[in-house]
Amino acid sequence: MTARVEDYLATQVATRPDALAFDDNTGVSVTYAELDAAADDIGARLTGLGVVAGDRVLMLSENCVAAVALLFGAWKIGATVVPFNARQTAGEVQKVIDHAEPSALVCTSAASPDAAAHGARFGAVEATGPYGALSFAALDGGTPDATSDVAVLLYTTGTTGTPKGVMLTHDNVRFGGLTSSNLRNMTPDDVIYGVLPMTHVFGMCSVMAAAVYTGAPVRLAARFDVAATYEALKSGVTLYSAVPQMHALLMAYTRKMGYTRLDSPTLRYVSSGAAPLDPAWKRQAEAFYGVAIQNGYGMTETSAGTAATTNAIGDPDISVGPALPGVEVALDMDAPGSGDGVGEVITRGPQVMKGYYKNPEDTAKVLSADGWLHTGDLGRIDEKGHLHIVGRSKELIIHGGFNVYPPEVEAALNDHPQVIQTAVIGHKVDGDEKVLAFCQVADGDDVSIEDLRAFAAERLAGYKRPSQIILASSLPAAPTGKILKHKLLEAFADQIG
């Protein structure tokens, strides 16, 4: 019989049934035995709604114990879970329903007002149990696939038009969990702060699956709150994975309190994903946390993992590391934007998705017959075999005939002590592309556009310098914290010259 993600839970139940597994900010906590019982309860409720093996179950949620129990409950009855962040709009939810054709909808109504509101629109009925509370509704589902090995169907951020659902198999999710655990040398004595949404691949595979594989407890947070994160990291947490915005906001918050360091007695591992590292930022972050900052590279289509670092503190390496064990990474030097050692990153291995759901055309565009996934990211591989990501091929800016890679410009501006984060895009004007930079600064910080222009001029060649810099207190972002670049022009239309 094929191994499944719920086998990780079964192992913990058999060996450590009374150990703490998860707790959340609604006050719910469960041991592994209690999580297993909660999963059985939810599985029975889904069966009562008519869900059968091979059906899809839409999970509208924010992080909580109930969401974890729902995942395992659905998997136990052979269903595929469609995790979707409850903070998305009704229209975005409907697109997913139309495409995935789930047989049931379940909302984490106690942990998320947005989830409760979605549930109310569908007449979902709330049920309580050892997991807290969930709201259930039956839907007119599509045809079940009783032979499906798909554990989760994840819809990518910023989907417009026909959604693309990434099919991750049980083997994909298991690989993500096992590899993340081994990479971090995790043990049951670790305590993980789970603020990355489990509706996205980073939180699903690198946090939730890794924790259950290891037997390490997770403190789940429904949403990122900088004050709560600060207190958690000083109160027993040993592992913290986040995106750059979370790190930047935490460091800014701490500075406002008059401190320069976090000074956590237990924190031993910190990682940053979703954006390339800058040397100055890396040094600053390591001084703040007092531990090495690990970097990695992955995407939804690769179960969050392709490459990762295991560096010591102070190591100047700013790559995303070598390929993970069992994973192949290469460069396609014929792809758009290639040249001077830069090519499109392609990868093959047990982390690569099964394909896009009901979308063989787009699957064929990115997944070759021999298993190579074309990521759309541009990178180079150094003499140590470490991968460096330089940008997305579709985000490459050609200014004055020169290639400008947005991450390089973003990193230069992020070096400024009053910049929290930066997003850089191209804006086509009169046959050329201008470099536009959007800088998020803390409220009340005294920084001017002229200051940032001078700062950039010291660090960037002339053709890479932004034609315009726009200051903002916030930038449009997904629930993960990832900046939604496709929304920048619309959000700041009145300021773009």
Q: On the CB side of 105, how many CA atoms lie within 13 Å of its CA?
A: 28
Quickly count: other Cβ atoms within 10 Å of residue 288's Cβ. Answer: 20
Tokens for 460, please give them: 């960037």
Confidence of residue 431 (pLDDT cuts 50, 70, 90): low
Task: Give the residue among 327, 298, 358, 297 at the shortest CA–CA distance from 80.
Answer: 358
Beta strand 373-381 pairing with 387-392: antiparallel
Backbone angles phi, psi at 375, to 5 degrees: -80, -25
Backbone angles phi, psi at 367, to 5 degrees: -120, 115
> Once rounded to an integer, what is the mean pLDDT over residues 238-257?
88
List, as one string, the DSSP characters of 356-398.
ETT-HHHHHHHB-TTS-EEEEEEEEE-TTS-EEEEEEGGG-EE
- Mapped onto helix, strand or coil, the DSSP state of residue 36 is helix
Contact 313, 287 (CB under 8 A): no
- The separation between CA 181 and the C-alpha centre of its own chain, rounded to angstroms, equals 17
3-state helix, strand, coil in the chain (%, to 5): 35, 25, 40
Contact 183, 308 (CB under 8 A): yes
Beta strand 328-332 pairing with 343-348: antiparallel
Confidence of residue 290 (pLDDT cuts 50, 70, 90): very high
pLDDT of residue 157: 54
> Once rounded to an integer, what is the mean pLDDT over residues 259-269?
94
Backbone angles phi, psi at 338, to 5 degrees: -80, 160
E strands in 104-230: 104-107, 125-129, 132-138, 150-155, 165-169, 192-194, 218-220
pLDDT of residue 337: 77
Task: Output the average pLDDT for the chain.
Answer: 90
Contact 165, 356 (CB under 8 A): yes
What domains are there in the chain, each with its CATH number? 6-171 (3.40.50.980), 224-393 (3.40.50.12780), 396-495 (3.30.300.30)
> Once rounded to an integer, what is the mean pLDDT over residues 342-371?
95
Burial class (CB in 10 A: 0-12, 13-18, 19+), 400: exposed
CA distance 168 to 5: 11
pLDDT of residue 275: 67
Contact 280, 413 (CB under 8 A): no
pLDDT of residue 303: 94
Q: On the CB side of 331, how many CA atoms lie within 13 Å of its CA?
A: 21
Query: Higher model confidence: residue 137 or residue 497?
Result: 137
Share of the chain above pLDDT 70, in %: 96
- Mapped onto helix, strand or coil, the DSSP state of residue 240 is strand
pLDDT of residue 159: 34
CA separation, residue 302 to residues 5, 305, 392, 485 (Å): 16, 6, 16, 22
The side-by-side arrangement of strands in the sheet containing 373-381 is 328-332, 343-348, 373-381, 387-392
> Once rounded to an integer, what is the mean pLDDT over residues 436-450?
82
CA separation, residue 334 to residues 180, 331, 378, 484 (Å): 32, 9, 11, 28
Tokens for 292, please give them: 């090495």
Tokens for 303, please give them: 């179960």
Please report how the helices 6-15 and 170-183 are oriented relative to each other, as an axis angle in degrees rounded to 10: 50
Can you give the length of the chain in residues? 497
Burial class (CB in 10 A: 0-12, 13-18, 19+), 468: middle
pLDDT of residue 241: 93
DSSP 324: P
Contact 150, 340 (CB under 8 A): no
Confidence of residue 494 (pLDDT cuts 50, 70, 90): confident
Contact 296, 271 (CB under 8 A): yes
Place of tokens 């930079």: 437
Quickly count: other Cβ atoms within 10 Å of residue 103's Cβ. Answer: 23
Confidence of residue 445 (pLDDT cuts 50, 70, 90): low
Q: Report pLDDT digits (tens) over 120-169.
A: 999 999 999 889 999 999 999 889 988 889 999 999 854 344 668 999 99
Share of the chain above pLDDT 90, in %: 64
pTM (two decimals): 0.86
